[in-house]
Chain A
Amino acid sequence: MNGSIDQDPLDDLLANSALIADRGFSERLRYNLSKATSLRFKIFASMGGIWLVLAVFLVSPRTLYERLSSITENFNFIELGSMLSIELNYTGLSSMQLPMLYIVILLLSIPAIFSFMLSD
């Protein structure tokens, strides 16, 4: 009527389809995610542990220190900056507090960065 385009009832019905209930789906996924994350962490940590043991046995402490220093020098501070800005943006938008672990890491990283800068 009045020149309006006829609406197809099937289109309306399809656009207003029923929504699937959560029924514990999100919780199950959260559990699966934490399982996958902890497995990845274990693999990462054990690789790091193996690397450290090998380094201790095969390389002198001085060389090890020098290598660690060069790794730190090449660390991407821009990436760290973007990570922090995302963290702070999110905290600003939501009422969530920064997790304690992040605060500890942030506090520890400040003197660590300065100590490496001063050692040069």
Chain B
Amino acid sequence: MQISAVLRIRSWCLRLGLLAVLPLILSRPAGLGAEGPQEYQVKGAMVFNMAKYVEWPADAFSGSGAPLIFCSVGRGPFAAALEQYRGKTVLGHPLVVRRLQTGEELGECHLLVVSGIEKRYLAGILDQARRRSVLTVSDLPDFARQGGIIGLVEQEGRVRFEINVKAAQQSRFKISSQLLKLAKIVREGDS
């Protein structure tokens, strides 16, 4: 299963994926402002859409109609931007949004948005997330390089994302080639 997925990904990469890396870099500046809640609206939408391209491990859900739980940790407007997706469905799973306190157990979270958190807590959160197979997304700089799975970065006025494929694999996530072809693949420790 994993192998076939990988093969599929590879074939897409060969046909389109590799070429798709360029637009990430060359895309022209968008009208979106880098600051303010507008930016987090975009980021929220990205997180919401990203969930559609990610396959959680088989044991992540108790059933087909089980809720998909979005958790957010840290300060800032990111967590608020997710609120509007509460109740929507992603691939058949009703969306639940939770806000966690720093140091709180991740519990049943499937996706964790990390935003506005102090660096010292990050390692602990990531470690816990990795163990519990929680997809971590953050707009912290070099998030993916520090062991997060998807990092949102700003590039030429547009929000782009980096994916730590290895981290994703470690957490037993399968990320669609459609997403991968738009993303920048990074590794831990890359600069």
Are chains A and B native binding partners rather than an unrelated pairing?
no
* Interfacial residues, chain A to chain B (CB-CB below 8 A): none
